[in-house]
């Protein structure tokens, strides 16, 4: 499979498949394709895995697209202004995504649920208890909100982030929370009560425009008609 990512604000990933190669995606992500791409809707691993994906923010069923009778082309578009990133998945090189980030992957890649084991960070960190884990072997594509910045953390090195800015990380990173210091900072600083702390070793990808922040900015301008 060969691919290229086009566009800045609303990107799309265009994949060129050899005959017999398959791609997996969630319903509604396919933008366009060549006529020889065959679609099959499946639980992809059974109802247990399907329910796990449902908890991680994806749909119960996945669509498998296969190039029939020769080379095929298929494109997957982002659903929100932001970025599409490609990740090379291999045994022992899993990735952890925020909920609803998975866009598409080669059929040899598996999507499952990842539980944030720390109670405090799950309740108050803004990232939630449930994230997405991508494993197997192949290329996976994820869509993130806004621009994405990548950091590599040494063992014990930390980065403090505001709620919702975590896009992805390698499994070696740990998520925790810390309280914003000072009552005045909490009441008037506008940053809330808690921040998320990511501790290395590993890589972390941060997004600049979480969709929840966008909703908060737009909400005062949305007029609700109760009539």
203-215, pLDDT tens digit by residue? 999 999 887 667 6
Q: Give domain status of residue 192, yes or no.
A: yes
Residue 111 has pLDDT above 60, yes or no: yes
Residue 144 has pLDDT above 70, yes or no: yes
> Once rounded to an integer, what is the mean pLDDT over residues 160-189?
74
Say which residue, 147 or 193, is predicted with more confidence. 147
- What DSSP element (H or E) covers 20? none
Structural domain of 192? 2-216
What pLDDT score does 8 carry? 84
User: pLDDT tens, 2-61?
Assistant: 999 999 889 999 999 999 999 999 877 899 999 999 999 886 555 555 555 555 555 567
Say which residue, 179 or 48, is predicted with more confidence. 179
Give the chain's count of helices (H) and strands (E): 4, 19
Q: Give domain status of residue 221, yes or no.
A: no
What pLDDT score does 192 carry? 53
Q: Give domain status of residue 143, yes or no.
A: yes
User: pLDDT tens, 56-103?
Assistant: 555 567 899 999 999 999 999 998 889 999 999 999 999 999 888 999
- What DSSP element (H or E) covers 71? none
> Once rounded to an integer, what is the mean pLDDT over residues 114-128?
52
**What is the CA 29 to chain-centroid distance, rounded?**
13
- What DSSP element (H or E) covers 94? none
H helices within 125-182, ranges in order? none
Q: Give domain status of residue 159, yes or no.
A: yes
Cβ atoms of residues 105 and 26 within 8 Å: no
- What DSSP element (H or E) covers 19? none
Q: Give domain status of residue 222, yes or no.
A: no
What pLDDT score does 67 carry? 98
Q: What is the CATH number of the domain that holds 61?
A: 3.60.160.10
Cβ atoms of residues 4 and 13 within 8 Å: yes
Per-residue confidence at 217, pLDDT binned at 50, 70, 90? Answer: low
Per-residue confidence at 190, pLDDT binned at 50, 70, 90? Answer: very low
Q: Give domain status of residue 145, yes or no.
A: yes
Split into its structural domains, the chain has a count of 1
Q: Give domain status of residue 224, yes or no.
A: no
What pLDDT score does 115 carry? 72
Structure tokens at 164: 């919702």
Indicate the Cα dihedral angle 141, 144, 149, 152, nearest 10°. Answer: -50
SS3 83: strand
What pLDDT score does 157 carry? 98
Q: Give domain status of residue 53, yes or no.
A: yes
Say which residue, 223 or 147, is predicted with more confidence. 147
Cα distances (Å, whole numbers) of residue 105 to 86, 120, 203: 9, 32, 20
């Amino acid at each position: 499979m060969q691919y290229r990512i086009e566009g800045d604000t609303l990107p799309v990933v265009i994949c060129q498949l050899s005959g017999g190669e398959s791609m997996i995606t969630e319903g509604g992500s396919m933008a366009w394709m060549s006529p020889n791409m065959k679609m099959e809707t499946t639980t992809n691993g059974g109802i247990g895995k399907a329910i796990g994906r449902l908890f991680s923010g994806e749909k119960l069923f996945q669509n498998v697209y296969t190039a029939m009778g020769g080379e095929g082309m298929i494109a997957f578009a982002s659903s929100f202004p932001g970025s599409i990133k490609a990740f090379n998945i291999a045994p022992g090189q899993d990735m952890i995504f925020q909920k609803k980030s998975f866009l598409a992957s080669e059929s040899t890649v598996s999507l499952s649920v990842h539980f944030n084991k720390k109670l405090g960070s799950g309740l108050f960190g803004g990232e939630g208890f449930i994230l997405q884990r991508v494993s197997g072997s192949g290329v996976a594509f994820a869509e993130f909100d806004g621009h994405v910045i990548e950091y590599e953390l040494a063992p014990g090195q930390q980065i403090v982030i505001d709620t919702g800015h975590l896009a992805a990380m390698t499994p070696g990173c740990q998520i925790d929370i810390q309280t914003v210091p000072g009552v005045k900072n909490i009441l008037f600083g506008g940053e809330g009560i808690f921040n998320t702390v990511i501790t290395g070793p590993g890589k972390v990808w941060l997004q600049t425009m979480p969709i929840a922040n966008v909703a908060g900015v737009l909400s005062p301008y949305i007029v609700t008609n109760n009539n």
